[in-house]
Amino acid sequence: MNYFRAHTVEEALATLADDPRRRVVCGGTDAFADLALVPARSEWVDISRIDALRRIERCDGWVRIGAASAWESVALTTWLPVALRDAAAAVGSLQIRVQGTVGGNLCHASPIADGVPPLLSLDAQVELASVRGVRRLPLHEFLLGARQVALKADELLVAILFPLPADADRTAFVKCTNRDGSALAVVSAAVRLRMSAVNTVEDAAVAVGGASAVALRMPALEASLLAQRPEALRDIIDGASLAALSPIEDCRATAAHRTHLARLAIMRALTHCIEEAAHGVSAG
Ligand SMILES: Cc1cc2nc3c(=O)[nH]c(=O)nc-3n(C[C@H](O)[C@H](O)[C@H](O)COP(=O)(O)OP(=O)(O)OC[C@H]3O[C@@H](n4cnc5c(N)ncnc54)[C@H](O)[C@@H]3O)c2cc1C
C-alpha cells in the first residue's frame, strides 16, 4: 500500500490526476474500517492535514463547511443549525467524531449516514474540484445510491455549502437506534420548519435516512404541511403516504418497523421545531 499526505488542495488534485487508481482518505474511519475498501495495492492520498479543507465559515448568507471538517468541530460550532450540530454530536463516539469528517460521511454514502438528512433539509450543495476545474451539485444529485456518489476518479469533494437558514427557521434531527449510547441509526429524520405569525406552517423541509438506498427529501409530505396549525400535524404524519421510501428488512429492523420509525422520527423532529418556535429559542 502506498500512502501520500497532501498539504494543499492543488497537491492533492495533481496527485489524483496523475493516477486515477489513487484513492482519497481523510479520517479513515470508513475507508480503513471496511476491508473491502482497502485492496492490497491501493494508493492512498491523505487530505486530512489540508487546512483549507477544515474551515467552517459563513459569508454572504451562505455556510461553507470544508470537506475535511471533523464532526466534533461541527458539533461545537454553535451558530450552525441545530439539526446539523445534533447529527454531528450523534456520530459514533468522541474518538470517531474527532477523526471522522463531513466529506468522508457524504462520499461513503451509507444509507444511514447521520450527516445526510440534515444537509438535505438545508438544501445543501457539494463543491467538487479536479485539475479540470470546480463544479457544484445539489447534494441529492451527488448521492446516486448506497455507497455510490457522482464523484469522478480525479475529483475531490472540497466543501459543503448551504444557505444560512432564516432567523425564523427552526431545525431538528432525530436518530432512532436499537440501543442507547453510540450506535448507528436504524432510521433518522431531519426537519427545517418556519411558522408564520399566525402559527401556521409557512415553510417545511423533511428528510428521512435509513429507509431507502439514500436519504430522501419528502416533497409531497412537505407540501401537505403548509398552512397547517401545529395541532393538525400528528394526523397528517400518521396518514401520510411514505411510499417514496423503500426500507430494507434485515437483522436490525423489519421494513414495517423502519416505516413506523420514520413517522415517529419526523413527528418528533417537527415537535422539537414547533416547541422551539413557540418558546422563542434562538434561530437554527
Ligand atoms: C466505530 C464507528 C462508529 C461510527 N458511527 C457512525 C455514526 O454513528 N454515524 C455515521 O454517520 N457514521 C458513523 N461511522 C462512519 C464514519 O465515522 C463517518 O461516515 C465519517 O464521517 C467518515 O469520515 P472519514 O473522514 O473518516 O472518511 P474516510 O474513511 O476517510 O473516507 C470515506 C470514503 O470517502 C472518501 N472520501 C473521504 N473524503 C473525501 C473527499 N473530501 N473527497 C473525495 N472522497 C473522499 C474516501 O475515499 C472513502 O471512500 C462510524 C464509523 C466507525 C468506525
Is residue 21 situated within a structural domain?
yes
Closest residue by Cα to residue 258 from 183, 176, 144: 176
Q: What pLDDT is attached to residue 154? A: 96
Res. 39 pLDDT band, cuts 50 70 90: low
Report CA(38)–ligand 1 centroid distance (Å). Answer: 14
Is residue 114 situated within a structural domain?
no
Residue of 24, 42, 161 best suited for mutating to test ligand 1, as the one with most atoms within 8 Å of CB: 24
The average confidence (pLDDT) of the chain is 95
> What CATH number has the domain bearing residue 202?
3.30.390.50
Q: What pLDDT is attached to residue 145? A: 96
Report CA(220)–ligand 1 centroid distance (Å). Answer: 31
Residue of 25, 106, 126 best suited for mutating to test ligand 1, as the one with most atoms within 8 Å of CB: 25
Q: What pLDDT is attached to residue 32? A: 86
Residue 66: pLDDT above 90?
yes
Report CA(197)–ligand 1 centroid distance (Å). Answer: 41
Which residues line ligand 1 at a C-beta cut-off of 6 Å? 23-31, 33, 37, 47, 67, 91-92, 96, 99-101, 103-105, 107-108, 113-114, 151, 156-157, 184
The per-residue pLDDT for range 163-215, each reduced to its tens digit, is 999 999 999 999 999 988 889 999 999 999 999 999 999 999 999 999 999 99
Verify that 203 and 217 share a domain, yes or no: yes
Q: What pLDDT is attached to residue 40? A: 64
Query: d(Cα 111, Cα 128) in Å, to the nearest integer?
Result: 21
Res. 41 pLDDT band, cuts 50 70 90: low
Choice between 34 and 221, residue whose per-residue pLDDT is larger: 221
pLDDT average, residue stretch 71-94: 98
Report CA(97)–ligand 1 centroid distance (Å). Answer: 10
Verify that 147 and 215 share a domain, yes or no: no
Residue 283: pLDDT above 70?
no
The per-residue pLDDT for range 266-280, each reduced to its tens digit, is 999 999 999 999 887
Q: What pLDDT is attached to residue 112? A: 96
Verify that 80 and 140 share a domain, yes or no: yes
Residue of 5, 26, 54, 147 best suited for mutating to test ligand 1, as the one with most atoms within 8 Å of CB: 26
The per-residue pLDDT for range 12-30, each reduced to its tens digit, is 999 999 998 899 999 999 9
Verify that 139 and 10 share a domain, yes or no: yes
| 3-state class (DSSP) for residue 115 | coil
Verify that 179 and 270 share a domain, yes or no: yes
Cell digits of residue 193: 420548519
Contact 225, 208 (CB under 8 A): no
Report CA(244)–ligand 1 centroid distance (Å). Answer: 26
Q: What pLDDT is attached to residue 33? A: 83
The per-residue pLDDT for range 230-253, each reduced to its tens digit, is 999 999 999 999 999 999 999 999
Give the pTM.
0.96
Is residue 116 situated within a structural domain?
no
Residue of 13, 72, 91, 110 best suited for mutating to test ligand 1, as the one with most atoms within 8 Å of CB: 91
In 145-232, where does DSSP find H-type helix? 219-225
Residue 284: pLDDT above 70?
no
CA quadruple 193, 194, 196, 202: dihedral sign: negative
**CA triple 254-257-261, angle to 5 deg:** 140
Which domain does 9 fall in, by range? Answer: 2-108+123-163
Percent of the chain with pLDDT over 70: 96
Contact 153, 134 (CB under 8 A): no
Verify that 139 and 175 share a domain, yes or no: no
Q: What pLDDT is attached to residue 1? A: 77
Verify that 55 and 132 share a domain, yes or no: yes
Q: What pLDDT is attached to residue 166? A: 95
Tell me which H or E stretch contains 86. helix 82-90
Q: What pLDDT is attached to residue 168? A: 96
Res. 225 pLDDT band, cuts 50 70 90: very high
What is the count of structural domains for the chain?
Answer: 2
Res. 37 pLDDT band, cuts 50 70 90: low
Is residue 38 situated within a structural domain?
yes
Report CA(12)–ligand 1 centroid distance (Å). Answer: 18
Query: d(Cα 270, Cα 227) in Å, to the nearest integer?
Result: 14
Tell me which H or E stretch contains 265. helix 255-278
